[in-house]
Amino acid sequence: MSKKNAPASHVEIRNRKAGYEYELLDRYTAGLVLMGTEIKSLRTGKAQISEAYCVFHANELWVHELLIEPYAYGTHINHAARRERKLLLSRRELDKIEVKLKDVGMTLIPTRLYINEKGLAKLDIALAKGKKLHDKRDSIKDRDVQRELDRAKHR
């Protein structure tokens, strides 16, 4: 089977804490600049994005604390697990995000890491604002009510 016909591996890593800790406002999909051993490790599902966050350096967007485990079959050239990785977005999107990040309490967090149908690593990021304690309680209450409604509907 040639590389063009090979199916892309189905990898999807979600940040489940993001919806609980933050109010997600705007969403974007960014490409990731990765090394060879990083994409191989990612295809095996060895990544974690729950502690990751995004920052601007010299008008470029970078993701910090994104954990991609070292590739099991890598040599001495294996990658560092928590290195900074550059995100690829259009200049218009970067400018728009940078303006919105200047508001008080706004942050940019990863919500999903996946490999698309072309075999490229993509990171869904969201412009977010931190929730207060009472907002978190409301989220839990809404989730419990929705769960009860679903149970009643399926009976």
Query: Can you spell out the DSSP letters for 23-90?
Result: EEEEEEEEEE---HHHHHHHHTT-EE-TT-EEEEETTEEEEES-EEPPPTT--TTPPPTT--EEEE--
CA distance 100 to 91: 14
**Is 27 a domain residue?**
yes
pLDDT for 3 equals 47
For residue 149, the enclosing domain spans 12-153
| pLDDT tens digits, 71-126 | 777 666 776 667 888 899 999 999 999 888 888 888 899 999 999 888 889 999 99
Per the structure, the count of domains in the chain is 1
Higher local confidence (pLDDT), 123 or 154: 123
Is this structure's pTM higher than 0.85? Answer: no
Residue 2 pLDDT > 50: no
In a domain, 41, yes or no: yes
Is 7 within a domain? no
- With a CB cutoff of 8 Å and minimum separation 6, the contacts of 151 are none
Q: Is 5 a domain residue?
A: no
Task: Please check whether residue 2 lies inside any domain of the structure.
Answer: no
Is the residue at 1 inside a domain?
Answer: no
Here the CATH number for the domain that contains residue 126 is 2.40.280.10
pLDDT tens figures, 16-68:
888 888 888 889 999 998 888 888 888 888 888 888 889 998 889 999 988 88
Q: What is the pLDDT of residue 75?
A: 67
- Report, as an integer, the average pLDDT of 6-22: 76
Q: Is residue 112 part of a domain?
A: yes
- Both tokens of 88, joined, read 């690829």
Q: Is residue 4 part of a domain?
A: no
Look at residue 109 in the predicted model and tell me its pLDDT: 92
